[in-house]
Amino acid sequence: MAERTVLVLNGPNLNLLGTREPEIYGHDTLDDINARLIARGAELGLVVECRQTNHEGVLVDWLHEARARGVHTVLLNAGAYTHTSIALLDAIRAIELPVIEVHLSDPETRELFRHLSYVGMAAVACVKGLGAQSYIVALEQAAAL
């Protein structure tokens, strides 16, 4: 069977995981989470590629690249761009690939401005509120697609 690649894209401030508001986001660093994703991916027969950027347009470029490369699924934690970015919504619609929205926290239980998700308007699923485990559950959902 052809190799299935899952692209894991993380947006702004997620490079600070581990020290960033640990009472909300936990103590795992992004490197810790990525290592776990790669290991779980290997068990599931998936190649997992993880990236992080603080720049909205870079996330758009990476979504376009995902389509061009024919990746299997994208896991996207767009951070605060989740709640602001029509550009990400349009990109997800444009690429016609399954994108699973991921959040460590549950934005809908937090401030009102986090309740709106543009990413969620185009994503096939959303896994949130489980801390670092949100990414693993999302990966398992990707494996089943």
Active-site amino acid positions: 25, 103
Residue in 26, 41, 79, 120 binding ligand DQA, rule: CB under 6 A: 79
Cα torsion 76, 80, 82, 88 to 10°: value is -80
Minimum Å distance from CB 134 to ligand DQA? 7
Q: Is 105 in the site for ligand DQA (CB under 6 A)?
A: yes
Binding segment for ligand DQA (CB under 6 A), chosen from 47-55, 58-66, 97-105, 136-144, is 97-105
Q: Are 66 and 100 in contact (CB under 8 A)?
A: no
Shorter beta-carbon distance to ligand DQA: residue 5 or 105: 105
Binding segment for ligand DQA (CB under 6 A), chosen from 44-52, 56-64, 66-74, 104-112, is 104-112
Packed helices 30-44 and 133-143: angle between N→C axes, nearest 10 degrees: 30
Per-residue binding string, ligand DQA, 24-53, x by CB under 6 A, is ------------------------------
Q: Roughly how many angstroms between the first and final C-alpha of the chain, as a whole number?
A: 15
* Element (DSSP H or E) covering residue 102: strand 99-103
CB burial readout 25-35, b (16+ within 10 A) else e: bbebbbeebbe
> Which stretches of the chain bind ligand DQA, using CB under 6 A?
13, 77, 79-80, 82, 103-105, 107, 114
